[in-house]
Amino acid sequence: MSVQANDDPYVLGRSAEEERRLQRQSAWYARPTRQLFADAGIAPGMKVLDLGSGTGDVAMLAAETVGPTGRVIGVDTNPGILETARRRAEQAGHTNITFIPGDLRAVALDDDFDAIVSRLILVHLPDPATALRDLLRHVRPGGVVTAYEPDFTLLGDAYPPCPLYTRACSWFAQGAGAAGMELAMGFRLHQLFIDAGLEAPRMFADALAGGGPDFLDDFTVYCAESIRSVLPLIVRGGFATEEEVGIETLGARLRDEMLSQNATVRHVLFMGAWARKA
């Protein structure tokens, strides 16, 4: 997911557990991703470039959108995770996706893409504006660029208050931020698009929210998996000890806290943005 060949800024780790977390995460954010594609005018027959494909979820959503007459090219620096993406795409019956391993600045790409799409990728890049500017040469005039990114300046919250959930959200942001993740990426998207040479983007903001056992059973597992991904960074930064986090029981404790409070829970803010190439 890096644009730098010798430096991987992805701070959440490269593991089978992280691949499973990414797939669970995709299920939560499929709806707003589809909405972003619709708002941006991504349509059947288009040729789409997916940045930082990971386990292939965004590429598959794009493939559904462009249909059998369209094409999706997914790029990621991690060849291993692309094997997972290829297998999942084949199992889902997507014949219009090609995954390419490589550095986004160096990999050979066509220059006639109708759209560039990305989700939770720019937040990891050391210079996302330059990365987008370099990639625009592969987009035809009038093509569109979309991005869907988190913003940790507004942490998750609950009502009535759930102190453990508040601490968990803070642990994640502190650990990821200390490792270089841009915590204000959602709010930065507007200026980032302009700096990349695009028009001012149209944007929306949303957040996961809900309560009750059906929602919280999966949501608290997702929260605990996210904390597990950055646990070494949390401990190394002195933000919490392994004993304080208690990762093996964290999901259950979060669920018990939220249910005992009959709480409504809101996750961190996400922002979607899209703009056309002049």
Digit-coded pLDDT (tens) for 203-233: 999 999 999 999 999 999 999 999 999 999 9
Task: Kindly state whether residue 64 falls inside one of the protein's structural domains.
Answer: yes
**Range from 53-57, 85-89, 106-110, 200-204 that averages highest in pLDDT:** 200-204
Beta 157-159 vs 97-101: how paired, if at all?
unpaired
Provide the mean pLDDT of the chain. Answer: 92
Which amino acid would we find at residue 188?
Answer: R
Percent of the chain with pLDDT over 70: 92
Cβ pair 162, 258 in contact under 8 A: yes
Residue 130 pLDDT > 70, yes or no? Answer: yes
- pLDDT tens-digit series, residues 180-202: 899 999 999 999 999 999 999 99
Q: What is the reported pLDDT for 2?
A: 31
- pLDDT tens-digit series, residues 37-68: 999 999 999 999 999 998 899 999 999 999 99
Task: Kindly state whether residue 4 falls inside one of the protein's structural domains.
Answer: no
Q: How far apart are the first and last CA of the chain?
A: 26
CB neighbourhood size of 68 (10 A) = 11
Q: What is the reported pLDDT for 1?
A: 36
Percent of the chain with pLDDT over 90: 82
Residue 105 pLDDT > 90, yes or no? Answer: no
Task: Kindly state whether residue 138 falls inside one of the protein's structural domains.
Answer: yes
Q: Which domain holds residue 167?
A: 16-276
Residue 12 pLDDT > 80, yes or no? Answer: no
Averaged pLDDT for residues 76-96: 92
pLDDT band at 104 (very low <50, low <70, confident <90, very high): confident
Cα(224)–Cα(220) distance, integer angstroms = 6
| Whole-structure pTM value | 0.90
Task: Kindly state whether residue 3 falls inside one of the protein's structural domains.
Answer: no
Cα(270)–Cα(203) distance, integer angstroms = 10
The tally of domains found in the chain comes to 1
Averaged pLDDT for residues 6-17: 54
- pLDDT tens-digit series, residues 238-258: 999 999 999 999 999 999 999
CATH assignment of the domain containing 92: 3.40.50.150
E strand or H helix at 265: strand 264-266
Task: Kindly state whether residue 8 falls inside one of the protein's structural domains.
Answer: no
Cα(1)–Cα(211) distance, integer angstroms = 33
Which amino acid would we find at residue 131?
Answer: A
The two structure tokens encoding residue 276: 């056309």
pLDDT band at 24 (very low <50, low <70, confident <90, very high): confident
Task: Kindly state whether residue 238 falls inside one of the protein's structural domains.
Answer: yes
Task: Kindly state whether residue 85 falls inside one of the protein's structural domains.
Answer: yes
Cα(199)–Cα(114) distance, integer angstroms = 16
Cβ pair 61, 272 in contact under 8 A: no
Contacts with 235 (C-beta within 8 Å, 6 or more apart), sequence order = 241, 242, 245
Task: Kindly state whether residue 34 falls inside one of the protein's structural domains.
Answer: yes
